[in-house]
Chains A and B, each alone.
Chain A
Amino acid sequence: GQQVMQIPQYQHVQEGEDFTTYCNSSTTLSNIQWYKQRPGGHPVFLIQLVKSGEVKKQKRLTFQFGEAKKNSSLHITATQTTDVGTYFCPAYGSSNTGKLIFGQGTTLQVKP
């Protein structure tokens, strides 16, 4: 099955600084999704990327899908304390029937 490695595992930033997390796969992905889980909360879907080289923006968040569809990144501009949480980029199982394979994610802490 597919597995996506995510780095860094933890990141502490000062409020207002930028933040980037990266996901890398050894195999080509049909698509990639990003989820955010706040402390004490549950994963919440952020976005899905499907096309090679795709870039999507949501306010201060920019998502990219690599040209080879093997990597993806999430960049947050001017972090705020509301950005605190763990960001996941799960891969789909080989049968692509909706089984999501989660890594440990990247946990972001923002110091006010």
Chain B
Amino acid sequence: DAGVTQSPTHLIKTRGQQVTLRCSPKSGHDTVSWYQQALGQGPQFIFQYYEEEERQRGNFPDRFSGHQFPNYSSELNVNALLLGDSALYLCASSPSGGGNIQYFGAGTRLSVL
């Protein structure tokens, strides 16, 4: 039973570019959340997808967008990259309903030069 998988593992971009990160949830999970973790900080919630719709959103600009597909996998898109977007991007999946345990993927390390 595969856990949460994310791709790519590492990515280097330059300012102004756009990036797409991908996540496949754990088997049986239909809810996907995305977090940004800067060095030395705790993960910060970006948004959550359920039934192919954004259900909740954290305090992130519109440059951050996402999508969930019918198979529950998800993408995170970031446009017009800034140096400050350099971080570890974590995807977490959970079964539907509130208050459930979240299983994190290994993350994508994004460096913006």
B-contacting residues of A (Cβ < 8 Å)? 30-31, 33, 35, 41-45, 48, 88, 90, 92-93, 95-105
Chain B residues 13-64 with CB under 8 Å of chain A are: 31, 33, 35, 40-45, 48, 55-56, 58
List, in ascending order, chain A residues with CB within 8 A of B31's CB: 98
Question: What's the nearest-Cβ distance from chain A to residue B82, in Å?
Answer: 22
* Total residues of chain B contacting the partner, CB 8 A: 27
Tell me the dominant secondary structure on chain A's binding face. Answer: loop
Residue B2 is within 8 A (CB to CB) of chain A in the complex: no
The reply to whether A43 and B90 contact each other, CB–CB distance below 8 Å, is yes
A-contacting residues of B (Cβ < 8 Å)? 31, 33, 35, 40-45, 48, 55-56, 58, 88, 90, 92, 94, 98-107
Q: Using A104-B42, A105-B42 as known contacts, say yes or no to A97 and B103 having CB atoms under 8 A apart.
A: no
Question: What's the nearest-Cβ distance from chain A to residue B26, in Å?
Answer: 11
- 25 pairs, A vs B, C-beta closer than 8 Å: A31-B99, A42-B88, A42-B104, A42-B105, A42-B107, A43-B43, A43-B92, A90-B42, A92-B98, A92-B99, A93-B45, A95-B56, A97-B55, A98-B56, A98-B98, A98-B99, A98-B102, A99-B58, A100-B35, A100-B45, A100-B102, A101-B45, A102-B42, A102-B43, A104-B40
List, in ascending order, chain B residues with CB within 8 A of A41's CB: 106
